[in-house]
Structure 1
């Protein structure tokens, strides 16, 4: 391998007769005057005599062609492999043309590839095209992971990509971007497994109900159990909002997530809500006021003075009168709107639990997965993130003022479909507190990991604060443009984004100081959604067929005309309410599939065992 063509301080061209260059391959230029500069392949090209085209365009210009001839390449006969190599550091002068090029030893480029020890960082994958370095890799960096590749599962044979989580103190927050099927959710699963390994307290919002780590991934040689490292809670069943702890502003945020609020509705909340209100007291007040406004002041006054009313009814109308005296100027439509929103959140179970189990999980260093519908997660996240961040902030502020405060650990907030929680261009319940964490969370030890298919739809303030970005396959031009603006991806890397394999990722991180191409490792656990939906359909059809055969078996052989005699018994066993015609159709289907046998006799049609 040799340097050819015109060289600059930033990039060179390398040629070889035997070696086919690969993207992101690392090379060392043996130029003693420049202390052997190192670089990475960003573009490749091969030429042979059977394809007499291309030397007038692209990589190989006239200068490269002349250089190749001068150093002994036979343009008409040889296969020539060329690579454009971008230097990691600017050279003080152009590199000598004709200089030898070789693959580096690990010690020569260790500072560029590994920033943390395996036991202190997140082992997320393998740096692509580093198999040439594998023989010189120290034992401590070998055998750390498995890779799902073209030929199935293989052992690590390159440099592991270890994300230095400690450096997030200086360069906080992570963005995970990628289209559907790009491996984004798989990559996020690997990140969460590594956070569990280090026992870093983590709060995960899971709108897809997939972040469960109980099932072992197929093909994993070393089973790693995360059983005691995470808990899964569902909104309404395990966790909820303690209404009495809410401020007026909190109530506004929660109700606005159940349905947008008008100014008049906001005024209703601010007027009616009292400090330390329980859900029941607030709900009753709103409901009673709505009823009182519907009746009107005159009718309520008349009812209060009606001698024929029972004591309970008199007390109710007296309550109506007091509410009208206090809040009679409020519009009925707005009060009804608040009543509907409060009831909607209550029906979803939001006010029937508290967040104690989440706090306990964070204190125990666990990964806490919060599951629920997206709209409910938006509501709940605004409350729980604000509460936990407040506790951490209070502790740190007290410590800075040399006061005694209750310890609350640093933690990481992870969410998929992040553009739903912090959208660009309009407000969302959790957006303000997430923006605050994006800008100030580093000081308090609270960090964000935001995953989204649409980075263009994510709030720009938050996107700008994501110092490390994991970019999987992305097809939409607007998203690619956003990613290029927010990262140091080159023009060539940007062009590759729509064609990345599932599981391949560009990691653009201020921690690493450059963009790296990485293959995400095989996860130790699997998602509950990995079953192909068409296989699922096939399985269910087979299950239904087997169940029907089992029900029919005691009655076989059975004449078609005797179905009516067995109808009640068959429906009871199958838990169906089919009529005779439906059972005939099912018997016909089973006979066509060869599961049972259909025989026609002179007297009847019989269904028998095959």
Structure 2
């Protein structure tokens, strides 16, 4: 291998007659005047006379071909392997043409590939192009990951990729981007497993109900032992909710805004007028309900009712209360009052005010991963409250400590969410957006960090995207998203062109901590998503199980005529839970006969079914 063609301080072309180059592999140029610079292969090709190409548009240009002829290559008959090598550090002057190029020993490039030890960082996968260094790699980095290739597990063959979680103090926040089927959610699962391994407190907002870590991969059970008991799953309305009495007026404005779109000025005025400090949900709700009822009845109608001689003392007291609240708040617009009333009822029906967030606080204090599940809109409403509440707790503790005061310790933690563009959309106000922007800009000082995943980086708020110092870029097809990622990362044009064709699980890692883009493959996850089953396999399995149950019931009555099916439908309803009528049962028996599971005999009077 040697350098050919015109060289620059950043890039050189290298050539080999015998060895094919691997994309992203690291090579050393034996130029002692430049202290043996190292670079990464960013483009490769094999050239021979059977492949016509325009020299002006090809990696193999006219100068490269002329150099090859001068150093003895037979352009007309040899197959020549050519690669473009980009130097990791810009050279003070161009590399000398003709220099030999060799594979490095691991110790020569360890500082470029490994930033921390496996037990102190997140071991996320394997770095592409490092297979040649496996033999010289130190023992502490061997057998750190198992890889999944074509549905089969294989051992580690290259250098493991270890994300230095402590570097987030300097380079905070992580973005995970990729289209459907790119391995984005799989990669996020691996990251969460590593957070659990390191016992870093994290809260995960899971709109897809897939971040469950109880189902372990049998072949990797030994590696997943350390994860047991380090995660807790809670559902909004069943396990956690919002303590209404702890909400400020501003909190209630945000929550009700999230429940049904932006609030009008008159709606905000309704909340500010009706809410009183330390209101419980019952007291605030009753006040609002009474105002709605009083405005519907009207002052004159209520006064006429009050003069009714048949009115009981209790009913009279009730009407006086309605008149009192109408006198106090009657000037508020009825349409706005009803709008607030509808939103509050919507949140109450979702169970949002039936619990508090103590289960989440407890999980974080125990250094666990807390997965919060709920429907998308409820999650957005709840996230607005819980992120703000937890961030304030951590911030108050740090501020007290800075001022030399004692305060109750609250741990640093990580906020993780999929579909992040729904929580912080670009160009549109959303309930959680303001608190996420604040954390993106200031969270580093307080030890609060973001892991945000989305299929559409273009739709994510630009301020937040700019603060994500590490970005994992999986397969992305949309041109607008690729352009956004090029602007927000150091991906080169060659790497951007590869984005639509990446395999599931392959990802570019653009990290300020590394100072360059690293191409890796995510390791095999130790746990499985509850949605891992193929839906078509699920369909067949369900049908087979149902047919088995129905056949057991039918076989007890064989032989049976199609005129005697009515009693059988009742038994099938009891035994199988199927609400079939005679017509449906007959159709199903016809199908079972066609499939050979029953035998059908036509008689002059009726159809008989037998084994």
Q: Is TM-score (shorter-chain normalized) higher than 0.5?
A: yes
Pairing 1:233–2:219 present: no
| Separation of aligned partners in 2, 1:236 and 1:151 | 38
Deviations 1:456-504 (A, max 9, x none): 1111110010000000011111111111111011111111111111100
The match for 2:534 is: 532
Pairing 1:337–2:318 present: no
| Separation of aligned partners in 2, 1:83 and 1:568 | 74
| Separation of aligned partners in 1, 2:56 and 2:415 | 53
Q: Which moved more, 1:240-249 or 1:564-573?
A: 564-573
- 1:602 Cα deviation after fit: 5.1
Deviations 1:27-46 (A, max 9, x none): 00001111100000111111
The match for 2:255 is: 254
The match for 1:509 is: 511
- 1:302 Cα deviation after fit: 2.4
Aligned match of 1:598 in 593, 596, 600? 600
**Contact 2:176–2:471 at 8 Å: present in 1 too?**
yes
The match for 1:94 is: 94
The match for 2:420 is: 418
The match for 1:391 is: 393
The match for 1:500 is: 502
Deviations 1:313-342 (A, max 9, x none): 112111101101110101111111111111
**Contact 1:216–1:223 at 8 Å: present in 2 too?**
no
Deviations 1:505-532 (A, max 9, x none): 0000001110000000000001111111
Q: Which moved more, 1:167-176 or 1:90-99?
A: 90-99
- 1:565 Cα deviation after fit: 4.4
| Separation of aligned partners in 1, 2:363 and 2:461 | 29
Aligned match of 1:484 in 486, 495, 506? 486
| Separation of aligned partners in 2, 1:601 and 1:198 | 73
| Separation of aligned partners in 1, 2:140 and 2:170 | 26
**Contact 1:236–1:350 at 8 Å: present in 2 too?**
yes
**Cα distance 1:152–1:574, how it changes in 2: closer, same or farther (>3 A)?**
closer
**Contact 2:550–2:572 at 8 Å: present in 1 too?**
no
Deviations 1:117-167 (A, max 9, x none): 000000000000100111110000000001112472210010000000000
3-state SS of paired residue (1:394)? helix
The match for 1:245 is: 246
Aligned match of 2:294 in 292, 295, 300? 292
**Contact 1:48–1:79 at 8 Å: present in 2 too?**
yes
| Separation of aligned partners in 2, 1:357 and 1:568 | 46
Pairing 1:309–2:311 present: yes
The match for 1:17 is: 17
**Which structure 2 residues correspond to residues 5-84 of structure 1 after superposition, within 5 A?**
5-55=5-55, 57-84=57-84
| Separation of aligned partners in 1, 2:471 and 2:188 | 12
The match for 2:139 is: 139
- 1:568 Cα deviation after fit: 3.1
**Contact 1:202–1:366 at 8 Å: present in 2 too?**
yes
| Separation of aligned partners in 1, 2:577 and 2:189 | 40
- 1:57 Cα deviation after fit: 3.6
**Cα distance 1:395–1:606, how it changes in 2: closer, same or farther (>3 A)?**
same
**Cα distance 1:284–1:134, how it changes in 2: closer, same or farther (>3 A)?**
same
Unaligned runs of 5+ in 2: none
**Contact 1:31–1:37 at 8 Å: present in 2 too?**
yes
| Separation of aligned partners in 2, 1:585 and 1:151 | 40
| Separation of aligned partners in 1, 2:141 and 2:133 | 12
The match for 1:117 is: 117
- 1:249 Cα deviation after fit: 0.5
| Separation of aligned partners in 2, 1:330 and 1:47 | 79
| Separation of aligned partners in 2, 1:206 and 1:570 | 39
The match for 2:170 is: 170
Q: Which moved more, 1:343-352 or 1:309-318?
A: 309-318
The match for 1:359 is: 361
3-state SS of paired residue (1:429)? coil
3-state SS of paired residue (1:136)? coil
The match for 1:463 is: 465
**Contact 1:55–1:65 at 8 Å: present in 2 too?**
no
Q: Which moved more, 1:84-93 or 1:578-587?
A: 578-587
3-state SS of paired residue (1:407)? coil
**Contact 2:553–2:571 at 8 Å: present in 1 too?**
no
**Cα distance 1:54–1:20, how it changes in 2: closer, same or farther (>3 A)?**
farther
- 1:578 Cα deviation after fit: 2.7
| Separation of aligned partners in 2, 1:573 and 1:308 | 59
3-state SS of paired residue (2:220)? coil
- 1:218 Cα deviation after fit: 5.8
The match for 2:325 is: 323
- 1:68 Cα deviation after fit: 0.6
- 1:306 Cα deviation after fit: 2.9
- 1:78 Cα deviation after fit: 0.9
| Separation of aligned partners in 2, 1:207 and 1:52 | 52
**Cα distance 1:578–1:149, how it changes in 2: closer, same or farther (>3 A)?**
closer
**Contact 2:509–2:517 at 8 Å: present in 1 too?**
yes
Alignment RMSD: 1.3
| Separation of aligned partners in 2, 1:392 and 1:451 | 24
- 1:554 Cα deviation after fit: 1.2
| Separation of aligned partners in 1, 2:38 and 2:254 | 54
Deviations 1:42-98 (A, max 9, x none): 111111233344545411112111111111111111110000000000111211111
**Cα distance 1:315–1:99, how it changes in 2: closer, same or farther (>3 A)?**
same
| Separation of aligned partners in 1, 2:54 and 2:135 | 36
Equivalent residues, number: 609
**Which structure 2 residues correspond to residues 532-571 of structure 1 after superposition, within 5 A?**
532-571=534-573
**Contact 2:10–2:89 at 8 Å: present in 1 too?**
yes
The match for 1:104 is: 104
3-state SS of paired residue (1:132)? helix
| Separation of aligned partners in 1, 2:567 and 2:432 | 62
- 1:305 Cα deviation after fit: 3.4
3-state SS of paired residue (2:565)? helix
Pairing 1:376–2:414 present: no
3-state SS of paired residue (1:282)? helix
| Separation of aligned partners in 1, 2:543 and 2:318 | 58
Unaligned runs of 5+ in 1: none
- 1:374 Cα deviation after fit: 0.8
- 1:603 Cα deviation after fit: 5.3
Q: Which moved more, 1:307-316 or 1:118-127?
A: 307-316
| Separation of aligned partners in 1, 2:296 and 2:586 | 58
